[in-house]
Amino acid sequence: MTATDAMSNWDRFVFTFFNADIAMKYGWEILQGASVTILAGLAVVMTGIVVGFGLAALRAIGWKSLNFLIIVFVDIFRSLPPLAIILVLFFGFPAIGIVLPSLIVLWLSLGAVLAAFAEEIFWAGITSVPKGQWLAARSTGLTFAQTLRYVILPQAVRLGIPPLTNRAISITKNLALGSAIGVNEILGRANSALSMSANATPLTMGALLYVLVFIPLVIASRMLERNYRWGEH
Amino acid sequence: MEQFTQEFLNLDVMAKVAPYLFQGLLQTLLLCSFLIPIGLVGGLLVMLLTTSPYRVLRWPAIVAVDFFRAFPPLVLLVFVYAGLPFIGLRVPALLAVAVAFLINSASYYGEIYRAGMVSVPKGQREAARSTGLSATQALLYVTLPQAVRNVLPDLLSNTVELIKLTTLASVISVPELLHSANLARSLTYNSSPLILAAIIYLILLLPVVRLIARLEHKL
């Protein structure tokens, strides 16, 4: 205590949050967490968008009972907090004989949440295409599937890209929740380094790493929004 | 099937933990009762900065907004709660939640308000000013109401996200709904409390999610 008392406030701040020795010691460890975060993030985004897109395309066919199931899935996963889904999968499923590794639980939970939001976004895009386009395409002799594939979906996807990017970013940031079930991602590793070193520098590094991973995406989403903005005079 | 019902839909367990989960629900509602207003007001201030005509105000604000949109809320929360005590600032859990959520949600709400302001034609503000309204009056009575109306679905959907985010407080042991459910799970060795909590979240949020979907399709 006396040693730190002798330091000025500024020194103490730097020693605590930007400690070079600690950064050297745990840097590699936390950096490895970044690779877990990035790979899991890619898996979540791919799964979410592909499944969401598939569900929206299925919904366009118009089978009543299938649409009902899709809407139930979408509404539930849009309403539930991701952490609640993660805890049920991680703690509940082993009791009925399904044991999933924590990383798989994280991927499945966030993938399902993103799929639900992506379906809604693609579906909003599909319904925003004027009915005349369907009729015109069908009357030129295109089949239902061809109309969907070549006329409707390209427009729906274009409309959906800006909101989808924002949603994908905000859901992928939830990868940090993995630390609550012991996934070795950035925050999990930073947390254990924090308790081992009794210094906050690992946390600073973890936070900066997260920002480093996500800031290019945030900037890209800003540019997308500018390019795709419609009704702009 | 028997095993599934026993583990997830055990009514005896649910009945036993219900009063305890109710306490958690109250805590969640308490969190919402101050997190939503400070987010909405904070977002308004952020929007005023990011749409300011002065570059010295606008650019730092835009950089800060992007920085905090790239910052996972849980990392922010842990940083405030576990990091600050190291420099002698011991923050109570509720205050840490308030600070972290204010920073996070003000950035998000701010961007939504900004999108709304951009959608209001310039002439509206000019017309309001030329009738003799002050800049503040033009904002409060003319442009802001239109902006808010234009982005109402987005404001609502961000509020739903904010309510879902209150579950993060469980990570720093604030006894909100999910935290009490998870504690009840570990005491009863049964997952039904988690399912009960999920049902409560659905009852609270599903109607709002439906409403948002309808508003979005109407626009």
Q: Which residue of B has its CA nearest to A172?
A: B72
**pLDDT over 60 (residue A1):** no
* CA B93/CA B173 separation, integer angstroms: 8
Is there a contact between A52 and A125 (Cβ–Cβ < 8 Å)?
no
What is the separation of C-alpha A39 from the centre of its chain, rounded to a whole number of angstroms? Answer: 12
Residues of A in Cβ contact (< 8 Å) with B121:
233
Confidence at A17, pLDDT banded by 50, 70, 90 = confident
Question: Distance (Å) from the C-alpha of residue A10 to the closest C-alpha of chain B?
Answer: 10
Mean pLDDT score, A120-147: 91
- Cβ–Cβ contact B198 with A under 8 A: yes
Q: Answer yes or no: do A218 and B210 touch at CB < 8 A.
A: no
Q: Return the higher-pLDDT residue of B151 and A15.
A: B151
Q: Answer yes or no: do A187 and B185 touch at CB < 8 A.
A: no
* CA A164/CA B145 separation, integer angstroms: 27
Which residue shows structure tokens 């006894």?
Answer: B175
Which residue shows structure tokens 């859990």?
Answer: B93
**pLDDT over 90 (residue B91):** no
* CA B45/CA B28 separation, integer angstroms: 26
Q: Answer yes or no: do A92 and B8 touch at CB < 8 A.
A: yes
Q: Answer yes or no: do A84 and B217 touch at CB < 8 A.
A: no
Q: State residue A8's pLDDT score.
A: 75
What's the pLDDT tens digit per position in B109-146?
999 999 999 989 989 999 999 999 999 999 999 999 99
Question: Distance (Å) from the C-alpha of residue A160 to the closest C-alpha of chain B?
Answer: 13
CB-count exposure of residue A122 (10 Å: 0-12, 13-18, 19+) = buried
- Cβ–Cβ contact B165 with A under 8 A: yes
**pLDDT over 80 (residue A233):** no
Question: Distance (Å) from the C-alpha of residue B197 to the closest C-alpha of chain A?
Answer: 8
Count chain A–chain B contacts defined by CB atoms under 8 A.
145
Question: Distance (Å) from the C-alpha of residue B87 to the closest C-alpha of chain A?
Answer: 6
Report percent pLDDT > 90 for chain B.
Answer: 81
Question: Distance (Å) from the C-alpha of residue A16 to the closest C-alpha of chain B?
Answer: 7
Q: Answer yes or no: do B121 and A233 touch at CB < 8 A.
A: yes
Is there a contact between A77 and A115 (Cβ–Cβ < 8 Å)?
yes
Q: Which two tokens stand for residue B205?
A: 């949020």
Q: State residue A232's pLDDT score.
A: 42
Residues of A in Cβ contact (< 8 Å) with B194:
84, 87-88, 91-92
Mean pLDDT score, A176-181: 93
- Residue of B6, B58, B59, B75 to mutate, testing the A interface (most A Cβ within 10 Å of its Cβ): B75
Lowest mean pLDDT among A17-21, A68-72, A112-116, B158-162: A17-21
Lowest mean pLDDT among A169-173, A228-232, B44-48, B156-160: A228-232
* CA B22/CA B123 separation, integer angstroms: 51
Q: Return the higher-pLDDT residue of A195 and A226.
A: A195
This prediction's pTM: 0.89
What's the pLDDT tens digit per position in B1-27?
788 888 888 888 899 999 999 999 999
**Chain A contacts in chain B segment 27-56 (CB below 8 A):** none
Q: Return the higher-pLDDT residue of A23 and B51.
A: B51
Q: State residue A231's pLDDT score.
A: 44
Mean pLDDT score, A146-153: 91
* CA A78/CA A120 separation, integer angstroms: 9
Q: Answer yes or no: do B67 and A215 touch at CB < 8 A.
A: yes
Residues of A in Cβ contact (< 8 Å) with B181:
84
Question: Distance (Å) from the C-alpha of residue B41 to the closest C-alpha of chain A?
Answer: 21
Q: Answer yes or no: do B206 and A79 touch at CB < 8 A.
A: yes
By Cβ distance, the residue of B79, B87, B201 closest to A16 is B87
3-state helix, strand, coil in chain B (%, to 5): 85, 0, 15
Q: Answer yes or no: do B83 and A219 touch at CB < 8 A.
A: no
Q: Return the higher-pLDDT residue of A172 and A158.
A: A172
Is there a contact between A54 and A233 (Cβ–Cβ < 8 Å)?
no
**pLDDT over 70 (residue A41):** yes
Lowest mean pLDDT among A29-38, A222-231, B84-93: A222-231
Q: State residue B219's pLDDT score.
A: 56
